[in-house]
Structure 1
Amino acid sequence: MARTSGQDTRDKLIRAAEEVFAAQGPDGAQLRDVVRLAGQSNPSAVQYHFGSRAGLLDAVMAGRQARTERVVAPLLEALCADCGVRELLTALVTAEASLLADDRGRRCLRISSGLSHETGLRTGRLHPALDGTAYGRLIGRIGDRLEALPEPVRLERLDLALTLIGAALADRARQGLDGTEPLTGQELFLADLVGTTTAFLHAPAPHGA
């Protein structure tokens, strides 16, 4: 009988959740499918180890964030103090795109693309999972470069920019998982994503904003 205790079981459940959540969506995923894929016989294994679906999703996203953080931290450190939006976005997109290197990362991109509203940007306060991280500081520096925009426009636009980046990378991830040939090579795709998002963020504020 498969055990439902220990770090090994937690890791199996997290990896299974990545696969099931990516295929079925975080809200529509069946936990019994996660338990079965993880090779567990106890149907309450998720509740035992994570407390709930939300707890399992938090664990999945924590692992995803940790992998991104390892890439973005040195990139942020290397940036000059007065670099512009394009350079900052290049670092952010490069870190996010590092997850395209394997199926596990691709699945996490698929999952997180639907959770961009969880950043907390629209409230002016980052989600606790991002607050204090290199990723959070990078987002903050991008926001600082947009100080000419009225605050409501700036916060909403930055949140939408992250949503755009997440959606574009999630679609690229889907193509990788499905074996679909993309229209453009990786280098061109990422350069265009940075350029498009930079232009979006630099668009003038609407009249009367």
Structure 2
Amino acid sequence: MTVTSEGARSRLLTTARKLFAERGLDAVSLREIIREAGVKHATAIQYHFGDREGLIAAILATHEARVDTRREAMLDQYEATGIPDRRTIAAIMVRPLARELEDQDGRHFLRINAQVVQRPPPGGIFVDTGTSMWRWRRQAAEFLPPGAAELHTRYTALTFTTVELARRAGQPQHFDDQLFVSRITDVVSAIVEAPLSPETERLYTERHERHQQRDARRREALTLPQTPSNDRPA
């Protein structure tokens, strides 16, 4: 890749990051990004990124790597102590992402990241949160009440974190975000350890029983002897 080509790629990333953050992932055309970036070639995005999804993935990649590195370091320290602590687990979710509030590119990333996390999966982008999130999930599982993992409690914690940080990133930059980040951490801590209410437990049990019955019917259908066809060629 030439120096000129690398410069065009960088301008496309910077422009797309800003426009996607401010207006939404599906509200900005690729042609507009190319024009705003001052890139002459109409197929520049296809050349550098393949398509819109590849462009978004490239925007996320650098920031996700930084977040992942921070979270890995916090997990290393947490696991080294060997002392379970719910609020520390919540902080390991929140604080590596919250550091992106410190500069404008990071704030754009947070607004884009929240859109990606909330995109419905089929057709959505796979969110590669790195190995740190898998490690975090294992550690958070220790605090989850029975059934909570199946009810996507950890995903709820992630969604709350990304949406709140994106909301903050869309506001005028604050001199000090410490109180805001601390409060998010409090709420994530509560989400992780929130007990299931009697109503939720009942509905969860009923759903589990329906799924068991459905699976039993499927197994039964697979083991039934096949009735031979009476159709014969003339």
Per the shorter chain, which TM-score range?
A: 0.7 to 0.9
Structure 2 segments unaligned to the other structure (5+ residues): 205-234
> What is the root-mean-square deviation in Å for CA atoms of aligned residues?
2.5
Structure 1 segments unaligned to the other structure (5+ residues): 121-126
String of CA shifts for 1:5-59, please: whole Å, max 9, x gaps: 6333222211111111101111212212211222201121111111110110111
Query: Is 1:4–1:42's contact at 8 Å kept on the other side of the alignment?
Result: no
Tell whether 2:188 aligns with 1:197. Answer: yes
Query: Is 2:70–2:96's contact at 8 Å kept on the other side of the alignment?
Result: yes
- Alignment-derived partner of residue 154 in structure 2: 158
- Alignment-derived partner of residue 70 in structure 2: 71
Separation in structure 2 between the aligned mates of residue 128 and residue 196 of structure 1, nearest angstrom: 23
Q: Secondary structure at the match of 1:175?
A: coil
- Alignment-derived partner of residue 145 in structure 1: 143
Q: Secondary structure at the match of 2:28?
A: coil
Separation in structure 2 between the aligned mates of residue 81 and residue 173 of structure 1, nearest angstrom: 34
Q: Secondary structure at the match of 2:170?
A: helix
String of CA shifts for 1:140-181, please: whole Å, max 9, x gaps: 32234315334422xx221111111111100110113xx5x6
- Alignment-derived partner of residue 109 in structure 2: 108
* Letter aligned with residue 25 of structure 1: G
Tell whether 2:177 aligns with 1:186. Answer: yes
Separation in structure 1 between the aligned mates of residue 63 and residue 52 of structure 2, nearest angstrom: 17
Query: Is 1:4–1:40's contact at 8 Å kept on the other side of the alignment?
Result: no
* Letter aligned with residue 100 of structure 1: L
- Alignment-derived partner of residue 86 in structure 2: 85
* Letter aligned with residue 146 of structure 2: A
1:150–1:157 CA distance, 2 compared to 1 (3 A):
closer
Query: Is 1:64–1:108's contact at 8 Å kept on the other side of the alignment?
Result: yes
Q: With structure 1 as the length reference, what TM-score do the two structures score?
A: 0.81
String of CA shifts for 1:77-105, please: whole Å, max 9, x gaps: 11133422310111221100110000000
Query: Is 2:145–2:193's contact at 8 Å kept on the other side of the alignment?
Result: no
Q: With structure 2 as the length reference, what TM-score do the two structures score?
A: 0.73
- Alignment-derived partner of residue 35 in structure 1: 34
Moved over 6 A (4+): none
Identity of aligned residues (%): 27
